[in-house]
Structures are given as structure tokens and as C-alpha cells.
């Protein structure tokens, strides 16, 4: 009989009903911690916190900058932004490459309310289409015809397996490999969390990744490839130890590895809620838009955790010197 998991409908329903209002409150709190850019001369710019809020809310609403202006006017009247920009100003800020680091830092900060909840993490990548046609599934499994011309960008994610909160992200071109991003994603996660294990598929199976996880005190639950030997070419003992341990404890390994399905759930959550297609035209704007999708996902997860787990979503703790800059 297939195992099923019941939903806690009361808290779930409250979270869904209040999500749009709560998201604006949390996005405002997150953006308030951003250190604004210095300006020596010229016309006064819009506050960076205001523009980041507008970018986040535009992606959350899933409409064009023109259509989101009515919602932003209401947000302005409620004090979530200090000035109401024009839609063309929002588009110009999506084109700013320097905002990428701010969005990455906001994603990290948005995950911190759950730092005491998550102990196991999963890693994977997924593609987002920059064209109206085509699906990442077709591209990944070779179903596109030779005449198709579609461009993709890729999100490399690490998430907690309990709440699906994203703790680290890297955005790359669509043809970037997965294995090289294991180290930076794990490094970012270990700065704020204390992971016991990280689960990934065979794409991350390499001695370098096993050794890096071990240096962090983290168990890499990654299956070996079919052509892998018990003894690595370098003779490294860690490879041999893990190879035999996973082979002799197959049942245990399968139970731990099954948690990797949570990163697939995270990818699906982002795409189903905020779309698998990137609306922006240029690469800089596409990268920023994708980061906004991940940030919106994190804020929604944090809202859900508040209603279901009672975790207060506070950001930029007093005395925290890690503000985005």
C-alpha cells in the first residue's frame, strides 16, 4: 500500500490566504537590510530597497511591469516602498548586473529563520526556458528537434529536505555542468547551517566532492557511477571506504538517498508557482529574474513555516553585520 502524508489543512489554508500580504511585509523587511549605493552626483536615485521590493513583487505576481503597477501603487500606499517608480525604471533595474549579488544575499538571508530546523540537504540543478516554446524536460532528454533554437539558463540549488528552503543558489548558462557547483553551494550552506549530510545524484559523484564534504564534516550521500571501481585511481582511502559502506548498506543508503526527491519538489514548486519560462530578454535580466523566482519561493516557504511550525520570520538580527552590500 502506498504511503501517504496528510496535510495540516488549518495552518496551510491560513498561510495560502494571507500569503500575498505577508510576502510584502517580509520582502520589505528583507530589502530594508540592504545598504544603498552611494551617489556623488546626478538626480537622486530610487532607494535600492524600494527597487528590489518592486522586482520581487513583480516576479511574484507573474505579470509584466506595466500590469504590476496597480499592485505596486497599493504597496506604496501601505508603506512597503517609499516612492512609486515607473514601469520602465523597474525594467532598467532588472538590467543591472550589480544587483545579482544583492539578490543572492537576500536568498541566503531569507533561509536563516529555518537554520535550526534543517539538518539534511539535497542538491540539484534545473533549467528555465527563455523562450515561449519548449520544456526543460524535452531539452534534458533529447526530444528537441535539430531545427529548434532555444536558449536555457540553469539554477543550481541546495535546499533543506524538510521545508524545501533554498540555502544556496548559483545561476549559469544552460550547458554548465553540475559537479563544479557542489563545493560553492555547500560552502555557502555551511556558513549558516550545520548540515549532517548532503544528498545528490550521480552527476555530483567525484572524489573532489566527496573529499570537500568530508572536510566540512558532512556525509555526501551520492551514488557511485556504474563504471566506478572500489579503488580510485589516486588510491584515496575515502573513496574506497564510502564505496564499500554504501555497497554493504544498500537499504540504509536507499532510505537516505530517497530524500533527494525533495530537491525535485523544490524545483517543481518554483516552476509551478512562478513559471518555468523567463520573461526577460537579456542575459543579465534573465539571471536577476530567476534569482527573484528563488527568493519568492523562499519567502513563501518561510510564511508556510510560520503558520505550520510557529517559526517567527525575522531577518537581519540585531548586531548582524552580514547585510547585503
Convert the pLDDT of each residue in 269-302 to its tens digit: 999 999 999 999 999 999 999 999 999 999 999 9
Is-contact 94 288, C-beta < 8 A? yes
Report the pLDDT value the prediction gives residue 35, as an integer from 0 to 100. Answer: 85
Average pLDDT of 91-111?
96
User: Comparing 37-41, 103-107, 124-128, which segment has the lowest mean pLDDT?
Assistant: 37-41
Q: How is the chain split into domains, by residue range?
A: 10-111+281-309, 116-262
Grid cell for residue 139: 531539452
Report the pLDDT value the prediction gives residue 323, as an integer from 0 to 100. Answer: 60
Is-contact 54 72, C-beta < 8 A? yes
* Sign of the C-alpha dihedral computed for residues 168, 171, 175 and 176 taken in this order: negative
- Give Cβ neighbours of residue 177 (< 8 Å, ≥ 6 apart): 203
Q: CATH for 116-262, among 3.30.420, 3.10.450, 1.10.238, 3.30.379?
A: 3.30.420
Report the pLDDT value the prediction gives residue 224, as an integer from 0 to 100. Answer: 97
By CB atoms closer than 10 A (0-12, 13-18, 19+), residue 163 is buried
Angle between helix 99-111 and helix 9-32 axes, rounded to 10 deg? 140
**Per-residue pLDDT band at 151 (split at 50, 70, 90):** confident
Report the pLDDT value the prediction gives residue 112, as an integer from 0 to 100. Answer: 97
Q: Please give the Cα distance from 101 to 1 (Å, whole number).
A: 47
**Per-residue pLDDT band at 148 (split at 50, 70, 90):** low
On whether the pTM is more than 0.85, the answer is: yes
Report the pLDDT value the prediction gives residue 110, as an integer from 0 to 100. Answer: 97
Q: Please give the Cα distance from 189 to 209 (Å, whole number).
A: 15
Q: How far is CA 257 from CA 14, 61, 70, 222, in A?
A: 33, 35, 46, 7
* DSSP bridge pairs for 158: 123, 168
**Per-residue pLDDT band at 119 (split at 50, 70, 90):** very high
Amino acid at each position: 500500500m502506498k504511503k501517504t502524508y496528510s496535510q495540516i489543512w488549518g495552518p496551510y489554508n491560513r498561510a495560502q490566504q494571507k500569503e500575498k500580504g505577508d510576502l510584502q511585509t517580509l520582502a520589505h523587511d528583507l530589502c530594508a537590510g540592504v545598504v544603498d549605493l552611494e551617489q556623488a552626483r546626478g538626480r537622486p536615485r530610487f532607494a535600492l530597497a524600494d527597487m528590489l521590493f518592486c522586482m520581487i513583487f513583480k516576479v511574484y505576481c507573474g505579470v509584466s511591469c506595466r500590469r504590476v503597477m496597480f499592485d505596486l501603487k497599493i504597496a506604496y500606499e501601505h508603506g512597503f516602498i517609499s516612492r512609486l517608480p515607473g514601469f520602465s525604471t523597474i525594467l532598467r533595474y532588472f538590467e543591472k548586473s550589480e544587483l545579482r549579488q544583492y539578490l543572492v544575499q537576500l536568498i541566503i538571508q531569507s533561509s536563516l529563520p529555518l537554520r535550526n530546523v534543517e539538518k539534511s540537504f539535497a542538491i540539484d540543478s534545473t533549467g528555465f526556458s527563455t523562450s515561449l516554446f519548449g520544456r526543460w524536460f524535452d531539452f534534458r532528454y533529447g526530444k528537441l528537434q535539430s531545427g529548434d533554437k532555444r536558449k536555457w539558463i540553469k539554477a543550481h540549488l541546495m535546499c533543506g529536505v524538510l521545508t524545501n528552503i533554498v540555502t544556496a543558489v548559483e545561476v549559469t548558462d544552460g550547458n554548465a555542468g553540475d559537479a563544479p557547483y557542489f563545493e560553492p553551494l555547500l560552502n555557502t550552506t555551511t556558513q549558516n547551517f550545520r548540515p549532517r549530510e548532503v544528498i545528490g545524484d550521480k552527476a555530483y559523484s567525484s572524489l573532489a566532492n566527496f573529499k570537500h564534504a568530508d572536510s566540512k564534516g558532512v556525509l555526501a550521500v551520492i551514488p557511485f557511477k556504474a563504471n566506478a571501481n572500489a579503488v580510485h585511481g589516486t588510491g584515496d582511502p575515502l573513496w574506497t571506504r564510502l564505496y564499500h559502506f554504501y555497497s554493504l548498506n544498500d537499504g540504509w543508503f536507499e532510505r537516505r538517498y530517497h530524500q533527494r526527491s525533495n530537491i525535485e519538489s523544490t524545483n517543481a514548486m518554483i516552476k509551478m508557482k512562478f513559471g518555468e519560462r523567463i520573461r526577460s530578454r537579456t542575459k543579465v535580466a534573465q539571471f536577476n529574474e530567476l534569482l527573484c523566482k528563488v527568493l519568492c519561493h523562499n519567502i513563501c516557504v518561510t510564511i508556510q513555516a510560520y503558520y505550520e511550525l510557529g517559526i517567527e520570520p525575522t531577518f537581519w538580527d540585531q548586531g548582524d553585520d552580514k547585510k547585503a552590500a
